[in-house]
């Protein structure tokens, strides 16, 4: 099997619109959560969200063209171009048939859909935008990226709820390993903050209602957590065959050595430990390493009562006695839950932790839940020697994904 390395990173999320800013704020423990500004949320039980702030799409695509696309496409394109530029790829020197795109989304263009539905009801079918369908379908991030770059290799968009971004990276990794491509631009993006989607989650009582103290609302593993915080953004990375990267003198952040994906086959929203545990074990087996070689785990860690306790239990099952030496953190404590973008941006942060040998904290962990009794790097960043880092993402429908990155 060919080796796969990470040579470029891109990020747009509630704590920054570029990788440098995102990483600096993550290490500082900055929260990106605040009152919803996108619409009037007065009638909602949850009135807070982790919104992307001061984002300008114009450096990545013409504003006139950007108006044809939903916001999740803007974020995905921006993060992808950041990652491509960071990688130093020179299109004029590359075989564009050997470069592909795999940027997925969990929800897609729901704001654009709901806006056009209102137009349909208020003004009739002739006033619906002719760009509605290409502007909101999930594969259009990868499709538009290929159009803009000329990348003619494998092109697809995975959809697996909150595991989307991680699965996109994992599957892109396999495309390189088996020889379908030499380079893949991979990750996830979502921008679902609109009245309809928020009402749907609000009616499930899945989101935090700590409206009076939004920066403290996302609190994974804390005894007083009361649900996740709605988020938006994108995380994308350039994956590359090792010899290809080496030949062009690319900087290498990390090597991707393990990937697992499983199903709970249990319930659409209530988790069990078998699926996540099997997923982590699969990634470890593919990496060919023992549990005691993993030093850091970036958890799914949504801040839900059931989810955090279940993930903790699954991690204990997999890591055994070594779990006492494992440092865990949840990026969602700062950026909220980006749904299809979560696995993308959190994989970027995992790679940065490995590259910099620093673990960004789980903020707002003030009173640990007795069911969550591991080392979650509470509230303060920590320098640590990291050989291997694992990233978990679990999604609605019982879909699971785990990646393992190696320091190189």
3-state secondary structure 73-91: HHHHHHHHHHHHHHHCCCH
Which tokens belong to 313?
Answer: 């239990």
CA dist 82 and 22 (Å) reads 13
Which tokens belong to 50?
Answer: 């982790």
Quick one: DSSP state of residue 374?
A: S
Q: Choosing from 74, 337, 372, 377, which is the catalytic residue?
A: 337
CA atoms within 13 A on the CB side of 180: 16
337 is catalytic: yes
Q: Choosing from 46, 101, 162, 279, which is the catalytic residue?
A: 162
> Do residues 313 and 406 touch, judged by C-beta distance below 8 A?
no
List all residues 6 or more positions away from 170 whose beta carbon is below 8 Å from its beta carbon: 259, 261, 401, 403
Q: How many CB atoms lie within 10 A of CB 289?
A: 17
| Residue position matching structure tokens 């609190």 | 219
Q: Choosing from 74, 167, 244, 300, which is the catalytic residue?
A: 300
162 is catalytic: yes
> Do residues 326 and 295 touch, judged by C-beta distance below 8 A?
yes
300 is catalytic: yes
Catalytic residue list: 162, 300, 337
């Amino acid at each position: 099997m060919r080796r796969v390395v990470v040579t470029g990173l891109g990020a747009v999320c509630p704590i920054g619109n570029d990788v440098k800013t995102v990483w600096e704020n993550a290490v500082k423990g900055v929260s990106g959560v605040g009152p919803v500004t996108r619409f009037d949320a007065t009638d909602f039980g949850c009135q807070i969200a982790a919104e992307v702030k001061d984002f300008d799409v114009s450096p990545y695509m013409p504003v006139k063209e950007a108006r044809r696309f939903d916001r999740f496409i803007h974020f995905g394109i921006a993060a992808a171009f950041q990652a491509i530029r960071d990688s130093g790829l020179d299109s004029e020197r590359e075989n564009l048939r050997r470069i592909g795109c795999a940027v997925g989304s969990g929800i897609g263009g729901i704001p654009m859909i709901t806006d056009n539905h209102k137009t349909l009801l208020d003004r009739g079918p002739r006033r619906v935008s002719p760009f509605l369908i290409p502007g909101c379908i999930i594969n259009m991030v990868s499709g538009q990226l290929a159009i803009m770059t000329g990348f003619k290799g494998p092109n697809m968009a995975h959809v697996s709820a909150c595991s989307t971004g991680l699965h996109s990276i994992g599957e892109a990794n396999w495309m390189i390993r088996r020889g379908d491509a030499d380079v893949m631009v991979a990750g996830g993006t979502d921008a679902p903050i609109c009245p309809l989607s928020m009402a749907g989650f609000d009616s499930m009582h899945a989101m935090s209602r700590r409206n009076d103290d939004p920066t403290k609302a996302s609190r994974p593993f804390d005894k007083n957590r009361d649900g996740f915080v709605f988020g938006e953004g994108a995380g994308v990375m350039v994956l590359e065959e090792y010899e290809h990267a080496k030949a062009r003198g690319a900087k290498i952040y990390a090597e991707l050595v393990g990937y697992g994906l499983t199903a709970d086959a249990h319930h659409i929203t209530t988790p069990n430990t078998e699926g996540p545990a099997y997923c982590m074990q699969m990634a470890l087996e593919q990496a060919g390493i023992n549990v005691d070689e993993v030093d850091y785990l970036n958890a799914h860690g949504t801040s839900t009562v059931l989810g955090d306790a279940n993930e903790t239990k699954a991690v204990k099952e997999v890591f055994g006695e070594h779990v006492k030496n494992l440092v865990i953190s949840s990026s969602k404590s700062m950026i909220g839950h980006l749904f299809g973008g979560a696995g993308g941006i959190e994989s970027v942060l995992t790679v940065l932790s490995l590259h910099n040998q620093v673990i960004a904290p789980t903020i707002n962990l003030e009173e640990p839940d007795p069911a969550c009794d591991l080392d979650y790097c509470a509230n303060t960043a920590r320098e640590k020697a990291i050989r291997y880092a694992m990233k978990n993402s679990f999604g609605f429908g019982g879909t699971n994904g785990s990646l393992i990155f190696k320091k190189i």
